């Protein structure tokens, strides 16, 4: 056993760590402790950031839900407004159509009245011309003078009757 190199390597290894282990262990432990503290701080920071991110996500989801609800309400209001406007346009169109129909009927009635008046006027002119022609054929100059004489003779009694009334 004392002649085996493995034994001496093992003894040297143990002595190396016993003698120099204290000098190396303290700085090594300090480095490891610092590293552990840094890792702990990073984990704490990561946890804090995760909580903040979760909070921001929850806020964003609430805002998104609120925005979606508001958008749905706006769409519904827009639909109602469009329906109201369409109904108003239909009513306006119906009113306009009725007014135009009334105006057209009034024009037709006016045209009918004008046509009837023109026919009556023309019929009266024709009747008047026919009566003149007939009277002119029937009455002669002698007959005219007899009628005039009779009218002149009846004039005083006719004036007296009007004065009494």
* Tokens, residue 140: 């002669």
pLDDT in tens, the chain (165 residues): 777 888 888 888 888 877 777 777 788 888 999 999 999 999 999 999 999 999 999 999 999 999 999 999 999 999 999 999 999 999 999 999 999 999 999 999 999 999 998 998 998 889 888 888 877 777 666 777 777 788 888 878 877 776 665
Taking the C-alpha atoms of residue 103 and residue 109, their distance in angstroms, rounded to an integer, is 10
* Tokens, residue 124: 């009266």
Task: Give the residue among 28, 5, 4 at the shortest CA–CA distance from 17.
Answer: 28
* Tokens, residue 141: 């100059």
The answer to whether the pTM exceeds 0.75 is no
């Amino acid at each position: 056993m004392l002649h085996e190199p493995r034994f001496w390597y093992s003894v040297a290894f143990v002595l190396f760590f016993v003698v120099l282990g204290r000098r190396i262990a303290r700085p090594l432990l300090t480095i490891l402790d610092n590293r552990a503290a840094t890792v702990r701080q990073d984990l704490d920071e990561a946890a804090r950031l995760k909580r903040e991110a979760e909070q921001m996500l929850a806020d964003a989801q609430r805002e998104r839900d609120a925005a979606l609800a508001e958008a749905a309400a706006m769409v519904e209001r827009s639909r109602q407004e469009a329906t109201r406007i369409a109904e108003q346009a239909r009513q306006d169109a119906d009113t306009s159509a009725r007014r135009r129909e009334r105006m057209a009927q009034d024009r037709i009635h006016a045209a009918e009245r004008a046509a009837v008046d023109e026919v009556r006027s023309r019929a009266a002119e024709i009747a008047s011309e026919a009566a003149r022609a007939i009277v002119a054929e029937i009455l002669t100059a002698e007959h005219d003078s007899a009628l005039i004489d009779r009218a002149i003779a009846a004039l005083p009694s006719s004036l007296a009757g009007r004065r009494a009334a």
